[in-house]
Structure 1
């Protein structure tokens, strides 16, 4: 029996799995199911809280009282970090890619409401120096008497990956309850931690199904390297020898569109049509691009050998509001 690290229980788990009957019929491909990880909570909604349950447990065990992390201006991860910090009586400092003149909306508004200290940095500094900047902030805050803990982007590191190891355990149990097996599991990929956790569990638990990530930034080579690195970092927490190959990592590349958090009209129209069709709201940054990619791949026949596929809804509803004026009704 493999023993994984301990976690703090914050999220509403397990999240349910629903069949998307109308979308499945419309696309004429496999039956599409959706795991509602958008319902892990309100303040902590989405996939990030699963990873933070493990990451923050490590921080608390080390006696830390302040969480430092980073993300985009509408980062779901940063908002969830601010929420879990407030809930546990910790302080939080968020390093956001953007500027202080940004309209206070969506996740950014919630960051403020939850009491997080916010530091804005340029896109260039975020790309090249974000870890160095967080290390400098850590030193600064230590001088003020805090004991900070740095959480990388998306909590996508070795310890955070166990959030989706646990999610795979849930999925396997739900398959038994529902008497269904998923040939493929699809997830939006933005920092790699969600995918790596699922793949780690697939290998250890001998799950007979493939994991596919739809990248919302960068390209397949970047994510294969990133996920590969996180997998080995996670394996260091386990007393077992695991071998991974980059060939095991499946990325559905080609749906980044205009870039990270930048939407094309066809993506927004897909989000609108799906909301009317299924009563499920996707976000423009992650799940909208990923589900759009899945639908396009089904139309192309890429999933014709599949009977059932599972899409993991990783949340992000607050990211819809800053882009509300771009929708055409």
Structure 2
């Protein structure tokens, strides 16, 4: 799979580490857990959207844009990393923030909101849940055009076929690491939200004939709603690459039940997962994405889906800044949903 024909900016000069988690594995019992540290990718301070933005920012620059326009939730990792890419490239950046939980956006909040201000976001438009985000971002781009500027719209999560190439590149990177380290994994676990990471990896695994099943843990939807999104994304990436592949519907596997009661709202299983990894391996997960994804891995292991003696790779997609926006919940001084 040749990615060299696509413009690309390089924000990380090295592969992210793949590490064993021996103390966490002992705590969990059963399978042997490893971690792929995409929380250590470039663009402050790391996370999976960096890989997508290598292709998306390159396309924006090639098209003469001076401003990146994107969207997300109030503590959006994607918005923060898009802003970091803009700073790196000498561009400006504007956000459309969707309050999926009413009154959840506070300009003076900590976590990623603090990073928005520190990195110098140009403008933030806050809209209610259910807003047509594509239309809202187009309105921002139209306002820029009226000022004689050129905006480049990046969809939520950087999740389109071009952004998905970032996780085709990650699949190739992992394949090389596994070969060099003589590693073999029985399962890969990844967060499944806007679908770009899950779909891009699936396309990369199919295109590179990597025979390791991928399980996505939903962070905002259960399988009936999530899996069609991932399937469409994977097929779009495959089509962009010009591969003669039809993505099998059965290759898209996700689990639900770990993101409730609502997207970004803490629950007890997430708190257990965040505390467990912090206290066994000194690795931080975030409450919105990776904490709930690790809760899913823990749940699947306890259910026997991941068995003793199997080796499971967890893709850490970043998000550490938002830990600070949930300090009370993570330390147990506020109740969380079961």
Per the normalisation by structure 2, the TM-score is 0.92
Q: What is residue 88 of structure 2 aligned with on the other side?
A: 87
Return structure 1 stretches of 4+ with deviation > 6 angstroms: none
Contact persistence 2:21–2:281 (CA under 8 A): yes
Match of 1:161 among 156, 159, 164: 164
Choose 143-152 or 299-308, whichever is displaced more.
299-308
1:308 correspondence with 2:291? no
Q: What is residue 144 of structure 2 aligned with on the other side?
A: 141
Contact persistence 1:186–1:309 (CA under 8 A): yes
Q: What is residue 323 of structure 1 aligned with on the other side?
A: 326
Task: Classify the secondary structure of the residue corresponding to 1:255.
Answer: coil
Task: Classify the secondary structure of the residue corresponding to 2:227.
Answer: helix
Could you list the per-position Cα deviations for residues 29-70 of structure 1 after superposition, in whole angstroms to 9, with x for gaps in the alignment? 221100011111361510011001111111111111111000
1:108 correspondence with 2:109? no
Please provide the CA RMSD for this pair.
1.7
Structure 2 matches for 1:227-242, cutoff 5 A? 227-242=230-245
Q: What is residue 246 of structure 2 aligned with on the other side?
A: 243
Q: How many residues get paired? A: 327
Q: What is residue 67 of structure 1 aligned with on the other side?
A: 68
Unaligned runs of 5+ in 2: 333-338
Choose 53-62 or 35-44, whichever is displaced more.
35-44
Could you list the per-position Cα deviations for residues 114-159 of structure 1 after superposition, in whole angstroms to 9, with x for gaps in the alignment? 12123233332xx341111111111111010111110000001000
Per the normalisation by structure 1, the TM-score is 0.94
Q: What's the offset of the Cα at 1:305?
A: 7.3
Could you list the per-position Cα deviations for residues 199-235 of structure 1 after superposition, in whole angstroms to 9, with x for gaps in the alignment? 0011110001011110010221222121122223223
Could you list the per-position Cα deviations for residues 14-40 of structure 1 after superposition, in whole angstroms to 9, with x for gaps in the alignment? 100110111212222221100011111
Could you list the per-position Cα deviations for residues 292-316 of structure 1 after superposition, in whole angstroms to 9, with x for gaps in the alignment? 1101110110112762110000000
Task: Classify the secondary structure of the residue corresponding to 2:162.
Answer: coil
Task: Classify the secondary structure of the residue corresponding to 1:159.
Answer: helix
Task: Classify the secondary structure of the residue corresponding to 1:212.
Answer: strand
Match of 1:122 among 113, 118, 127: 127
Contact persistence 1:96–1:118 (CA under 8 A): no
Q: For 1:269 and 1:323, locate their aligned partners in 2 and report how far apart those are by CA, in whole Å.
A: 14
1:276 correspondence with 2:284? no
1:129–1:112 distance in 2 versus 1, CA, 3 Å = same
Contact persistence 1:263–1:284 (CA under 8 A): yes
Q: What is residue 35 of structure 1 aligned with on the other side?
A: 36
Q: What's the offset of the Cα at 1:6?
A: 3.1
1:254–1:12 distance in 2 versus 1, CA, 3 Å = farther
